[in-house]
Amino acid sequence: MEVFFHIGLQKTGTTFLQREIFNKIQDSDFAYIDGHFHPDVFNPIRFQDPIFFDSISIRDKITALAKGKKKLLVSFEDLSGHPYNAAQARSVIADKIRSCFPQAKVIFFLRRQDTFAVSSYLQTVNGGNKYSLREYYSTVFEDKQHERFICPTLDYFLFSKYVDHLTGLFGRENCLILPYERFRSENEVVIKQLLDFLNVKFIEVKLNNKHNRQKGEVFTWLLRFENYFVARRISANSAFYSGIPIYNFRTGKTFHFTLKYVLTLLLRKGLWMDIRYTDRSGSAKRILELCREDNKALELKYSLGLTEHGYC
């Protein structure tokens, strides 16, 4: 069985790829797995101590999900680490994938560090982060960590060693490395390149469908304020409550009503237009400047077209 892993990065159009491309591939020999829906299989890859990791058991579980198909694609952006823990385990995750499938092929999207920093930060606010962007990324410039959860260090934004690790494990010819900016500017070309790598037929893609729209300035400010009081994934220990409990007599379940729920609903219904979020502190641009030499080394070795998209 030919196995492919699409492993991120986070915030590089992964939801669009999963819903509009991977999920719609029509091929009788092709199986697609969204890792979000199989935590029992992929949590050991993401979190388990390697000395306890059972690669044979995990390989068998993933193979069973393929249901006898000749080609299998697993898509899960958390397999390249997660911003909530500064992607500390990304190289270990890659090692685990190879231990399960030594002949696997890997799809990995990069994103220019300044926009990646802003987008990742907004995702952490959605998950409970109460810090400003400048405070959150202070760990990049200073040797300290905030309480409660791990904030990124500069290593989180340096891609060359991670790409070297991937190509060392799986072989350069088995790794499709693409800049997210090229996907945005030449989406049809990149989609064809992606489908050719998977060796599947071209499919019609609705390019206008957008997923996980970036939250604006007002939304982010209000949500940060609420994060001081409402328990979410990365702030549960420091928050006072989980929202206003509302009991649903029809389902028999309790729903926790929050400001985040209201704001998200208004944005989704188009009843409120927010101001686009901008990094007024300049921290994201400083991060990019610190990464330019690493980006140059990456471009020199792999010729990914990073210079034309402002990486170098």
Give yes or no: residues 149 and 84 share one domain.
yes
Give yes or no: residues 16 and 125 share one domain.
yes
Give yes or no: residues 224 and 252 share one domain.
yes
Domain of residue 241 covers 217-268
d(CA 143, CA 103): 39
Please state, as a whole number, how many other Cβ atoms lie within 10 Å of the Cβ of residue 182. 19
The whole-number pLDDT of residue 25 equals 87
Give yes or no: residues 238 and 191 share one domain.
no
Give yes or no: residues 105 and 222 share one domain.
no
The whole-number pLDDT of residue 276 equals 82
Contact by Cβ (8 Å): 18, 120:
no
The whole-number pLDDT of residue 152 equals 84
Three-state SS annotation for 171-202: CHHHEEEEEHHHHHHCHHHHHHHHHHHHCCCC
Give yes or no: residues 135 and 207 share one domain.
yes
Question: In the structure, what pLDDT confidence band is assigned to residue 243 with cuts at 50, 70 and 90?
Answer: low
Of 177, 155, 197, 183, residue with least CA distance to 302: 177
Question: In the structure, what pLDDT confidence band is assigned to residue 275 with cuts at 50, 70 and 90?
Answer: confident
- Structure token digits, residue 102: 């030594």
Global confidence as pTM: 0.88
Give yes or no: residues 124 and 259 share one domain.
no
More confident call, 110 vs 267: 110
The whole-number pLDDT of residue 237 equals 47
Does any domain span residue 273?
no
Give mean pLDDT, residues 27-39. 92
Residue 27, Cα to own-chain centre: how many angstroms? 26
Give yes or no: residues 71 and 134 share one domain.
yes
Number of domains in the chain: 2
d(CA 270, CA 286): 34
The whole-number pLDDT of residue 147 equals 56
